[in-house]
């Protein structure tokens, strides 16, 4: 199965705003925050200064998962996704198509690592 075929299959299951639209909205919010007339604090941030917040939010996400409360997981996952996109946005300012390259790279890697799902390989166990 190609990435395009897989994307179509996944998108058929959606309701409400598409994941693509929500991702776009969030990246636009980040671009606005970092714009010359955006938030001074956000504009000052670098990958190095955001790193500690990524770690904090990742630990909070892990704690929420351990707590077994989906609402808390959802909130912390949102915070973590925001920070990951925020740092990607910073790199995007320096390197065109940074986020696109990262997303394409991970999609290709996951497909390559799962030939039993996206290819013809048949397996019986998780090993």
- The answer to whether residue 124 is domain-embedded is no
- Binned at pLDDT 50, 70 and 90, residue 8 comes out as low
- The answer to whether residue 8 is domain-embedded is no
Query: What is the mean pLDDT of the segment spanning 52-74?
Result: 97
Integer Cα distance of 35 and 42 in angstroms: 9
Residue-number span of the structural domain to which 91 is assigned = 19-118
Task: Output the CA–CA distances (angstroms, integers) from residue 57 to 22, 24, 63, in the order listed.
Answer: 20, 22, 10
- The answer to whether residue 85 is domain-embedded is yes
Query: What is the number of domains present in the chain?
Result: 1
| Cβ(66)–Cβ(85) below 8 Å | no
* CATH code at position 90: 1.10.287.1080
- The answer to whether residue 125 is domain-embedded is no
Integer Cα distance of 44 and 36 in angstroms: 11
- The answer to whether residue 73 is domain-embedded is yes
Query: What is the mean pLDDT of the segment spanning 73-97?
Result: 97
Q: Within the chain, how many helices (H) and strands (E) appear? A: 7, 0
- Binned at pLDDT 50, 70 and 90, residue 124 comes out as confident
pLDDT higher at 41 or 121: 41
- Token pair for 94: 């320096």
- The answer to whether residue 52 is domain-embedded is yes
- Binned at pLDDT 50, 70 and 90, residue 86 comes out as very high
- The answer to whether residue 111 is domain-embedded is yes
- The answer to whether residue 126 is domain-embedded is no
């Amino acid at each position: 199965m190609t990435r395009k075929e897989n994307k179509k299959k996944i998108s058929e299951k959606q309701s409400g705003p598409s994941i693509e639209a929500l991702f776009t909205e969030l990246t636009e919010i980040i671009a606005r925050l970092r714009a010359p007339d955006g938030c001074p604090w956000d504009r000052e941030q670098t990958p190095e200064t955001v790193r500690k917040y990524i770690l904090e939010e990742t630990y909070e996400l892990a704690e929420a998962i351990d707590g077994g409360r989906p609402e808390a997981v959802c909130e912390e996952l949102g915070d973590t996704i925001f920070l990951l996109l925020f740092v990607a946005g910073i790199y995007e300012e320096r390197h065109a198509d940074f986020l696109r390259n990262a997303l394409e790279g991970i999609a290709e890697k996951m497909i390559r690592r799962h030939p039993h799902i996206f290819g013809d390989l048949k397996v019986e166990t998780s090993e």
